Amino acid sequence: MTTSQTGEPALSPEIQAQLRPRWGVFISYSATALVVAAFLSIAYYPAEVQNWTLLFTDAANMATFIADFLEPNFEDWRIFLDKMIETIYIALWGTFLSIIFGVPFALLCSSNIAPWWVVQPVRRLMDAARAINEIVFAILFVAAVGLGPFAGVMAIFIHNLGIISKLFSEAVEAIDPRPVEGVRSTGASRVQEIIYGVIPQVLPLWSSLTLYRFETNVRSATVLGIVGAGGIGFTFYESFRAFQYDRAGAIIVVVVVAVMVIDIVSARLRKFLV
């Protein structure tokens, strides 16, 4: 080991390079922070963030809300449970349909599977489905098919079709091409390449993403009821409008418990699948 003139061990050139100040990285991070701060400053008044003081000046109203919510009324717990189960059914069917239709769209969105003249139009179509929120779709489907859970199913399905296709296509584009080339060398068709070379590589990740989206869709489905798309959201909205905050608090507890149970079960399934 070499030593410096002071008698201390000399550092290798690699370590010296690592310890040298990286001004370029520092400047880029600082510039990014300044840009973010500038955007936050511009959005401060349009977003009315200055009204945060109302949280304290209207403390009496907040105290009333909190007091009632902390004393939940479970008198109608059977109704809450039935509506929560209906909400889960909405999320289940919406997720199932988005997976069934999302797989072929994901393959068509993958640049390593489909040609560019197919990939680009399909991606733009999926962007449109993903850009519109579920509640907007729910309003449209309530007008089209009437009040009820089916409108919620369709809203979850269309919105998640865009999300699933994007997530699944990104997984497909990240695969190892060697198994696909091996299947191709046997004279397999394009469909056989996908079935035997692509699907086995992405199936564990697809399964994990499906479970995650189902968890998210359960939470989304609780909101769709506000516009009449079925589920427990409508019951919550009616309780809140009637100033029955104790009843609304009980509904929130039911939703939280249901989401926690689904999250625990999904986490165990993800560990098994991935």
Instruction: Quote the pLDDT of residue 158.
Output: 94
Chain centre to alpha carbon of residue 176: 26
Q: Is 3 helix (H, G, I), strand (E, B) or coil?
A: strand
4 falls in which pLDDT band (50, 70, 90)? low
Unique residue bearing structure tokens 């919406």 = 94
Tokens of 194: 């996908």
d(CA 62, CA 255): 22
Q: Which pLDDT value is given to residue 44?
A: 84
Topology (CATH level 3) of domain 68-273: MetI-like fold (1.10.3720)
- Give me the sign of the Cα torsion angle 104, 109, 113, 115: positive
Distances (CA, A) of 19 to 16, 22, 30, 247: 5, 9, 20, 61
- Mean pLDDT over 193-204 rounds to 88
User: 95-135: per-residue pLDDT in tens?
Assistant: 999 999 999 999 999 988 888 898 999 999 999 998 988 88
Give backbone dihedrals phi and psi of 235, rounded to 5 degrees, phi first.
Answer: -60, -40
**pLDDT for 272 beyond 80:** no
Domain range annotation of the chain: 13-54, 68-273
pLDDT in tens, 224-238: 888 888 888 888 888
Q: Look at residue 177 and tell me whether its pLDDT is greater than 80.
A: yes
Residue 8's pLDDT is what? 55
Token pair 């995650």 is found at 212
Q: Assign residue 34 a region: left if phi > 0, alpha if psi is -120 to 50, beta otherwise?
A: alpha
Give the pTM: 0.79
What integer is the mean pLDDT of 89-94? 94
Look at residue 85 in the predicted model and tell me its pLDDT. Answer: 92
Distance, CA of 176 to CA of 191 (rounded, Å): 17
Which pair of tokens denotes residue 199? Answer: 């699907």
Residue 153 has pLDDT above 80, yes or no: yes
> Is residue 267 over pLDDT 90?
no
